[in-house]
Amino acid sequence: MTAEELRKQFPILSREVYGKPLIYLDNAATTQRSESVIRALSDSALLHNGNTHRAVYALAGEATRAYECARVDVRDFIDAASVDEIVFTSGTTASINLVAYSFGDKFIGSGDEIIVAESEHHSDIIPWQLLAQRKGAKIVVMPVEESGALDLEKLESLFNRRTKLVCVAHVSNVLGLINPIKEIASMAHSHGVPVLVDGAQAVAHLKVSVRDLDCDFYAFSGHKMYAATGTGVLYAKKEWLEQMPPFIGGGEMIDTVSWEGTTYAPIPFKFEAGTPNINSVPTFVPAIGLIRSLDGSEAAFGLDKIKNFVYNALSSDERIVLRGTTQNLDEKVPLFSFSVKGVHHEDLALLLDKQGVAVRSGHMCAQPLMTRYGVSGMVRASFAPYNTQEEAQAFILALDKSINMLK
């Protein structure tokens, strides 16, 4: 399947903005949705809407089956050992907060330390800061080098007997670099410390095996991998989920309830209180199907060529400061954040928008990383397999035109 063929499955990609073809390069913020995903969402609402896990009638059964099929597909998709290890949430943020509250409540106390990478998204910083405030714990920052790579030697020196957790993104949403999770997990485990991985930027681009990575927690969102918004996953090793207390109490997470005390449902249901996102969770099935269909495709090959082309164009332009650099582009996803000397990032994004090019600008929910590089924000272009070489070229031309206008 070529990128052109793939594009046809995404109705929004044929629209125009300001009378110009839309060039959508903010896939790291949210990917677009395929017809198959939109159909799953509308079918769920039009044909199969019933509350899951509760009633005996046909609609409830269909809704429950669609919901649980998604759990099976997600298990396969990230190679988890069991479906019991897949907790559905509203997104990466909710997944990380679940761990911060539940795991944090039980395993983190006053004086304990949580190692957090400097390049994390605010979603993987603030839940830990809140936990640290509640418990009197301490955040220890794992620094990044100038290139954006994590400093593993430094990480080794950060462990001590108070270290209780390491939090790191599989791929930074600013740098696009693939972090060596397997090595980090191995290092952390040698100190008896579990690892939480923010996989939000990884799942659309990398084949993830949580068993191979040997991480303890892996959080990601559906909407960054073509599924519907408001869907997310927390993978956690069974041994942790079984020890962790419920985070949110409510319907469907219980075994028996009485005024004397309540016993909880088995995992993963213990962590899925209340009515889940019945209509949207089933969209994981076509979204995962789509990602699988891209394996080894021309579109995937084309995306690699785009990555090379854009990386070379940006890194060879003296006006541009590209962040997240590497000698080996296999260690980077097609996500490029940069600054232009003497030009405000929002001015640049605004002029690109008027040329039909949608990019992100601002601090990208990673202010500590912006501070590390001494900027208030950057521009980010992030590509998906449905982006074409022509779009990549048009982006570089539009960028050049915008810089010339602003300089």
Considering the complex, what minimum distance in angstroms separates the CB of residue 396 from other proteins? 17
Q: How far is the CB of 72 from other proteins (least distance, A)?
A: 40
Residue 351 makes contact with other proteins by CB under 8 A: yes
Q: Does 405 bind other proteins (CB under 8 A)?
A: yes
Given 69, 167, 215, 365, which residue is catalytic?
365
Residue 295, phi then psi, degrees to nearest 5:
-60, 120
Q: Provide Rg for the chain, Cα atoms.
A: 22
From 105-113, 194-202, 252-260, 339-347, give the range in contact with other proteins by CB under 8 A.
Answer: 339-347
Token pair listed for 199: 């996989």
Closest to 382 in 3D by CA, of 7, 21, 31: 31
Residue 20 CB, nearest distance to other proteins (Å)?
9
Q: Which is nearer to other proteins, 37 or 398 (CB)?
A: 398
Closest to other proteins by CB, 97 or 361: 361
Q: Among residues 100 and 351, whose Cβ is nearest to other proteins?
A: 351
Q: Considering only 126-134, 210-218, 332-340, 353-361, which stretch makes contact with other proteins by CB under 8 A? A: 353-361
Rounded Cα–Cα distance for residues 120 and 298 (Å): 32
- The structure tokens 């993963």 sit at 268
Site for other proteins in 161-200 (CB under 8 A): none
Task: Count Cβ neighbours within 10 Å for each residue of 212-241 and write b for 16 or more, e otherwise.
Answer: ebbbbbbbbbbbbbbbbbbbbbbbbbeebb
Contact call for residue 355 and other proteins (CB under 8 A): yes
Q: How far is the CB of 360 from other proteins (least distance, A)?
A: 11
Pairwise CA distance, residues 197 & 216, whole Å: 8
Smallest distance, other proteins to C-beta of residue 324, A:
23
How does DSSP assign 47-63, residue by residue?
T----TTT--SHHHHHH
- Helices 345-354 and 389-406, packing angle to 10 deg: 120
CA gap 323, 377 in Å, rounded: 12
Quick one: three-class SS letters along 258-311? ECCEEEECCCCHHHCCCCCCCCCHHHHHHHHHHHHHCCCCHHHHHHHHHHHHHH
**Residue 344 interacts with other proteins (CB under 8 A)?**
yes
Site for other proteins (CB under 8 A): which residue of 84, 105, 347, 400? 347
350 forms part of the interface with other proteins (CB under 8 A)? yes
Q: How many CB atoms lie within 10 A of CB 371?
A: 12
| Site map 361..390 versus other proteins, x via CB under 8 A | -x----------------------------
Contact criterion met (CB below 8 Å) for 41 and 341:
no
User: Minimum Å distance from CB 406 to other proteins?
Assistant: 5
Stretch that binds other proteins, among 130-138, 208-216, 309-317, 347-355 (CB under 8 A): 347-355
The residue among 13 and 403 lying less far from other proteins, judged by its C-beta, is 403
Question: Which CB, 183 or 346, lies closer to other proteins?
Answer: 346
What's the first-to-final CA gap in the chain, in angstroms?
Answer: 41
Of positions 249, 346, 389, 390, contacts other proteins by CB under 8 A: 346
State which residue, 234 or 320, has the beta carbon closest to other proteins. Answer: 320
d(CA 113, CA 111): 7
Part in contact with other proteins (CB under 8 A); list of ranges 154-162, 164-172, 333-341, 352-360: 352-360
Number of residues that bind other proteins (CB under 8 A): 14
User: Is 69 a known active-site residue?
Assistant: no
Q: Checking phi first, is residue 19 left (phi over 0); if not, alpha (psi -120 to 50) or beta?
A: left
Strand order in the sheet with 320-323: 320-323, 335-340, 378-382, 360-362
What is the rounded distance in angstroms from the CA atom of residue 296 to the CA atom of residue 288? 15
Shortest Å distance, C-beta 94 to other proteins: 25
Please, which residues bridge with residue 234 across strands?
87, 219
Least gap, CB of 404 to other proteins (angstroms): 10
From the list 35-43, 76-84, 248-256, 341-349, the region that binds other proteins by CB under 8 A is 341-349
Taking CB under 8 A as the criterion, which residues in 6-25 touch other proteins? 18
343 lines the binding site for other proteins (CB under 8 A): yes
- Residues in the site for other proteins, rule: CB under 8 A? 18, 343-344, 346-347, 349-351, 353-355, 362, 405-406
Catalytic residues: 365
